[in-house]
Amino acid sequence: MTSNATGSTSPENPAPQSDDMLVVNKVTSGDIAASLRAGLSDFLARPVMSGFFGLFYAVFGILLVWCLVWLGKIWMIIPAVVGFPLVAPFAAAGLYEMSRRRQKGENFGWSDILSVMARQRQREMGWMAFVTLFIFWVWMYQVRLWLAIILQNASFSDFEGFLNIVLYTPEGWTFLAIGTLAGAVLSAALFTVTVVAMPMLLDRETNFVSAMLTSIRVVTENPVVMLIWAAIISATMLLSMLPAFLGLIVTLPILGHTTWHLYQRAVQSSEG
């Protein structure tokens, strides 16, 4: 299966495409490998521009942790870091546009990419951002709920104390088990509705509900392959955050570019 660009107009004025024209393809692990190669090629072609989006995301993560420490919300650091990758698809919008233009052989500069991103607030991408941030909020809220129910009056004066309670007490193990299960459910739900929805909204004239439904179809028709892709994303993102979020400067752009190419392989018009 080859990766074919969809449409010939820019995302600020895309050609209308009816949702019933969309065909969800069967994809394989070979499509993931080919998309990863294409994503790496996109990154190496424009490493500074691609790395900028990774740097922005990494700095945001560093500031998030710093703010939690400053506010004395030590208990929130781990759930915030674990849930942080949930907002990555929205952060990668500029990377999707870079890959789209490279795939079509178009020249582009900073203003081209940033202006397209700015215009997304007038389209359906803003609703997808709301969905993403809402699920992140639910994730943080349920962690606080389970802390109150399971750990009750435990005191977290510092990060080391929090780790000692969570890692070395039966109550902490229960909290980790329930929190991990709840996090897995939320992550799976968000992945299912966004895995191709974000690049699709940038690429096509469609609404966010149709984009989410198409994303769900991609996952349900390719469950094993999409599970592999979800595992690759999760492992890569979490490992990239270990060196003070700095690994994201490289891995986020590659994953973002790869997502675009995987979307191109998974969704096409019936005319494609």
**Concatenated DSSP letters of 226-271:** HHHHHHHHHHHHHHHHTTTTTTHHHHHHHHHHHHHHHHHHHEEETT
pLDDT at residue 120, as a whole number: 66
Is residue 11 included in any domain, yes or no? no
Is residue 191 included in any domain, yes or no? yes
Spatial contact of 4 and 268, defined as CB atoms under 8 Å apart: yes
Residues of the chain with pLDDT under 70: 1-21, 120-123, 153-158, 269-272
The Cα 198–Cα 263 span in angstroms is: 9
Is residue 4 included in any domain, yes or no? no
pLDDT at residue 230, as a whole number: 92
The Cα 119–Cα 169 span in angstroms is: 50
Tokens representing residue 26 in the block: 């069967």
Task: Quote the domain boundaries for residue 146.
Answer: 24-269
Is residue 8 included in any domain, yes or no? no
Is residue 87 included in any domain, yes or no? yes
Question: Buried (b) or exposed (e) across 122-131, using 16+ Cβ within 10 A?
Answer: ebbbeebbeb
- Beta-carbon neighbour count of residue 7 at 10 Å? 17
Question: Buried (b) or exposed (e) across 54-76, using 16+ Cβ within 10 A?
Answer: bbebbeebeeebeebeeeeebbb
pLDDT digits (tens, 9 = 90+) for 198-228: 899 888 888 889 999 999 999 999 999 999 9
pLDDT at residue 76, as a whole number: 77
Element (H, E) at 167: helix 159-168
Tokens representing residue 76 in the block: 């929130």
Query: What's the domain count of the chain?
Result: 1
pLDDT at residue 216, as a whole number: 94
Is residue 183 included in any domain, yes or no? yes
Report the predicted TM-score, pTM, of the whole model to 2 decimal places.
0.81
Is residue 141 included in any domain, yes or no? yes
Is residue 9 included in any domain, yes or no? no
